[in-house]
Amino acid sequence: MKKSFFVRVLSGGLPALGFAFFAMTGPAMAETFGIGLPVSATDSAQRINDFHDMLLVIITGIVIFVLALLLYVIARFNAKANPVPSKTTHNVMLEIVWTIIPVVILIIIAVPSFQLLYKNERIENPEMTLKITGAQWYWIYDYPDHGDINFTSYMIPNDKIDTAKGEKRLLSTDNKVVLPVGVTIQALVTSGPTDVIHSWAMPRFGIKTDAVPGRINHTWFRINKPGAYYGQCSELCGKDHSYMPIEVWAVEKPVFEEWAAMAKEDADKAQAWIQANHNPAAKVAGVAVPPAPASEVAEPSVPEEPAGAEPETQTVPEGETSKGSDE
């Protein structure tokens, strides 16, 4: 009776506890304890997360089954419980079963994996293009569909991090990659002809694409909700490899169109405007940042002349203007 109860606990109780535990490692666990994959921001990432969860259930079941089988064999066929061992060398049915079951498991894994690869690699009707060029050690971004917008993106040094703006150490950049939500974006990833291999990786987008000199690789994503998303270069590219972060700000389409129209004329002015008025990083950090009027961002203030005085031409030093746009 004791042995049968022991076997029932191993075969029924442990799998139930295992599946209950792994069911908890979802978005809530990822947000609260940092366990599990990052919460997905695109359908591509969600498909990867779902495939991962399915594999986790399968391999957990296999591990629990093998462990229970080993414990049963130890308890049932040790020298005390089984002093006269069986001399059986073959069992046709058993050999057929332990050959067919692994094949079935592999088929169960292969079918959704092929579907995942097909859906995540196929670009259906891209609505805009983002060109990404890796360099030592920063990123260059082009928006060929929006008047050839072009800017570079460097990591903000540690001593310049402003937590009031939601900036993060080793992740925030001076110029943000501003993209619209709900739009299918085709990303063309490359590296300079005399540069090295980099890799543009965004975990919450479910993409990691190498930037190879002289070659253009492509990928795609469609961001589902506004927010600030972070990534890093994921290919060893030299001494400052760890200082090549990626910061993407996903905003509503009208906001993006307004930013793009401004960036066609002046990319620095557009960056200052978006950071002052639509900062998702500050919202995520729980910092209330009041929007600055566009006039304050666009032009430096000029003191008013006293009544009756002749107007004087006000000149703003070039260094002060560039400093204001950077902030």
Q: 144 to each of 174, 264, 283, how far by Cα in Å?
A: 21, 11, 30
Classified as helix, coil or strand, 55 is: helix
User: How far is 281 from 169, CA to CA, in rounded Å?
Assistant: 13
Q: Which residue did the predictor score with more confidence, 11 or 80?
A: 80
User: How far is 264 from 260, CA to CA, in rounded Å?
Assistant: 6
Asked whether the predicted pLDDT for residue 20 surpasses 70, the reply is: no
Q: What is the pLDDT of residue 283?
A: 63
Q: Which residues contact 176 (CB under 8 A, 6 or more apart)?
A: 153, 247, 248, 249, 271, 274, 275
The strand pairing partners of 198, in sequence order, are: 211
Classified as helix, coil or strand, 183 is: coil
Q: What is the pTM of this model?
A: 0.72
Asked whether the predicted pLDDT for residue 67 surpasses 50, the reply is: yes
Confidence of residue 316 (pLDDT cuts 50, 70, 90): very low
Asked whether the predicted pLDDT for residue 321 surpasses 90, the reply is: no
Asked whether the predicted pLDDT for residue 52 surpasses 80, the reply is: yes
Asked whether the predicted pLDDT for residue 150 surpasses 80, the reply is: yes
Confidence of residue 6 (pLDDT cuts 50, 70, 90): very low
Asked whether the predicted pLDDT for residue 160 surpasses 60, the reply is: yes
Q: What is the pLDDT of residue 32?
A: 64
Asked whether the predicted pLDDT for residue 13 surpasses 70, the reply is: no
Closest C-alpha to 267, from 183, 150, 125: 150
Name all domains of the chain by residue range, CATH numbers in brackets. 2-121 (1.10.287.90), 128-297 (2.60.40.420)
Confidence of residue 17 (pLDDT cuts 50, 70, 90): low
Q: What is the pLDDT of residue 30?
A: 55
Q: 66 to each of 51, 104, 208, how far by Cα in Å?
A: 23, 17, 35
Asked whether the predicted pLDDT for residue 294 surpasses 70, the reply is: no
The string of pLDDT tens digits covering residues 88-146 is 788 889 899 989 999 999 999 999 999 999 998 888 889 999 999 999 999 999 999 88
Classified as helix, coil or strand, 21 is: helix
Asked whether the predicted pLDDT for residue 85 surpasses 90, the reply is: no
- Which of 234-248, 261-275, 288-302 shows the lowest mean pLDDT across its residues? 288-302
DSSP 237: -
